[in-house]
Amino acid sequence: MSENATDITNDNIQDNNGNNSLLTGGNLYESNTDKYKDNLSSAITFFICGGIGIILMILNDAGIIKIVTKDSPSFIFINIVLGLLFIGFIAIGVWSLKYSNKIKAKAETEDKKAADVLNWLEDNITKEDIENSYTGDIQEEMKYFNRTAYVKEQLTVQFTELSDEEAENFSEQFVEKMFN
């Protein structure tokens, strides 16, 4: 490596909180509402696939459609394997539905907290406050990071129960709403 090349070490890529900014970049927060929707759609998908599969097996066994003929030497084996597969799909659908219902209660509580936090931000943080939190001679690309850092700092002071990921998420939402 030449002497003029930049040497990136852990010392010069840490943010103010001591986090390694190259390794922790990006918001990893996933809301319970998103988890609920994902699990509910998975449950529905598994129910549909399992149900259609079982219906096709019954139609095949009744001779209405011909996928695997009854005189095939592996007919019973294929029916057992496919039957277990489609019953497994339905079982996974039931499990996903139960899990999504557990998450639904958490999602409702989280949505109320999010509404409270975002309402507080709208009532107490102005665009001017955010703009005055940094010097005007920084690059346009860096302003976003300074804006979200300022809002996050205000949130963590006001709402001490917020996790770092939640504060980051709410900060990003608020800044995007204010400046887009």
Three-class SS of the chain: CCCCCCCCCHHHCECCCCCECCCCCCCCCCCHHHHHHHHHHHHHHHHHHHHHHHHHHHHHHHCCCCCCCCCCCCHHHHHHHHHHHHHHHHHHHHHHHHHHHHHHHHHHHHHHHHHHHHHHHHHHCCHHHHHCCCCCCCCHHHHHHHHHHHHHHHHHHHCCCCCHHHHHHHHHHHHHHHHC
- pLDDT tens digits, one per residue of 121-145: 999 988 888 888 887 678 877 888 8
Cβ atoms within 10 A of the Cβ of 168, count? 22
Taking all residues of the chain, what is their mean pLDDT, rounded to a whole number? 82
Domain range annotation of the chain: 29-108, 125-180
pLDDT tens string 62-111: 889 888 777 878 888 989 999 999 999 999 999 999 999 999 988 888 88
Total number of residues shown for the chain: 180
Distance of alpha carbon 35 from alpha carbon 25, whole angstroms = 22
Q: What is the pTM of this model?
A: 0.61
Tell me the C-alpha distance between 47 and 28, whole Å: 30
Q: If 0-12 CB within 10 Å is exposed, 13-18 middle and 19+ buried, where does residue 75 land?
A: middle
Nearest of 138, 43, 56, 47 to residue 96 by alpha carbon = 43
